[in-house]
Structure 1
Amino acid sequence: MTRHDRRFPDEPSGPFPEPPLSFTDREGRDIDVCPYEVDDEEALVEMYVDFDPADRAQGIPPATESRVRDWVETLGEGLNVVAWHEDEVAGHATLVPDGNGSYELAIFVHQRYQRAGIGSQLIRALLGHGKANGVDRVWLTVERWNRAAVGLYRDVGFETTDSESFELEMVLTL
């Protein structure tokens, strides 16, 4: 399936909250989700440099600091939200335009913050931010054995469109 013949659902998902939003995660930590600001770059790079290589998927985040910096810079072309715990980045999610009128979603939660409900809030805030900024078609790929991620995406409203390979392609209309 090429990007040009990707089929999106007729019915929109949502509604999703627009950031900023605050919540307490399952570990009792206060988390703030905000749109990405240029001033956030160093803290975001720091999170990715400290990211557990075992949690990398499809080659991202990159493994070295210089590559992380280059990658974070390219993400500025899309829409981004950051989950903060005090002064530390707990997670990041991005919608990157694919050149065909839709956006690819990627989400990363630092290993110290995983399994605490942050990913769910982060993805919902990103989709709300996307909708508020004119995004209406979102897609992603996920490794089929990543059951936690697949479950999260389904709970939010993503539907599987392509399951031919070791990755699932999932789509959502806002």
Structure 2
Amino acid sequence: MANDNLYSEFYEDKEGEIIFVTIFVPEERENLIKMYEEFSPDRRCCGLPPATRKGIEVWIDGLHENGYGFIAKRGDKIIGHIAAVPVGEEAEFAIFMHQDYEDRGIGSELIRFATKFLREKGIKKLKAITERTNRRAVETYRRLGFKVAERDADYLELEKEI
């Protein structure tokens, strides 16, 4: 796992800001909690992120004990997060972007970064679940090559071979 810390990149977003994407490390835990404490309630999807600090802490810790985390930062502030939990050769993941940084290509870049890392770890398929009404997420996933695998009245499960 020591080599995992070598995974990081800088890139320029659509507004010309320099964004740092990297593997989540425990030292960033408090910064990640802060991002979720500032998260707009109307941007929650599938009941996530949790609404309370304690819920956020338990959720983040559980995700990162069972999988991999990836973050996007502008300066010292975390502005995006992916959690990927592998099961065999598949990984279910969730992505959340701070509402002040949406529509800047950061989520797409974070997904690309995480995909590269997960492929190197032997993951062959990514799976994501989102609400059918979450157009931003559905459009982003489709643009990145995800296909709808299952649907019901409320949710879509999307997947992509990597």
Unmatched tracts of structure 1, length 5 or more: 1-17
Given the alignment of the two structures, is residue 110 of structure 1 paired with residue 98 of structure 2, yes or no? Answer: yes
Aligned-residue CA RMSD in angstroms? 1.5
* Greater share of residues in strand: 2
C-alpha offsets along residues 102-130 of structure 1, whole Å, 9 cap, x if unaligned?
Answer: 21110000011111111110111111111
CA–CA distance in 1 between the matches of 2:109 and 2:88?
Answer: 27
Cα deviation for residue 141 of structure 1 reads 1.0
CA contact (8 A) 1:78 1:96 kept: yes
Runs of 5+ consecutive residues of structure 2 not aligned to the other structure? 1-5
Query: Structure 2: how far apart are the matches of 1:161 and 1:137?
Result: 12
C-alpha separation in 2, matches of 1:91 and 1:164: 28
Distance 2:115 2:95 in 1: 11
SS at match of 2:27: helix
TM-score (norm: length of structure 1)? 0.85
Name the stretch that deviates more: 154-163 or 64-73: 154-163
2:69 corresponds, among 61, 80, 88, to 80
**Shift, 1:163, TM fit:** 2.1
Distance 2:141 2:97 in 1: 14
8 Å CA contact retained: 2:89, 2:122: no
> TM-score scaled to structure 2, two decimals?
0.90
Matched, 1:163 2:119: no
* 1:50 corresponds to which of 23, 38, 42: 38
Bigger share in helix: 2
| Matched residues, number | 156
Higher relative contact order (CA 8 A, sep 6+): 1
Verify the 8 A CA contact 1:36 1:81 in the aligned structure 2.
Answer: yes
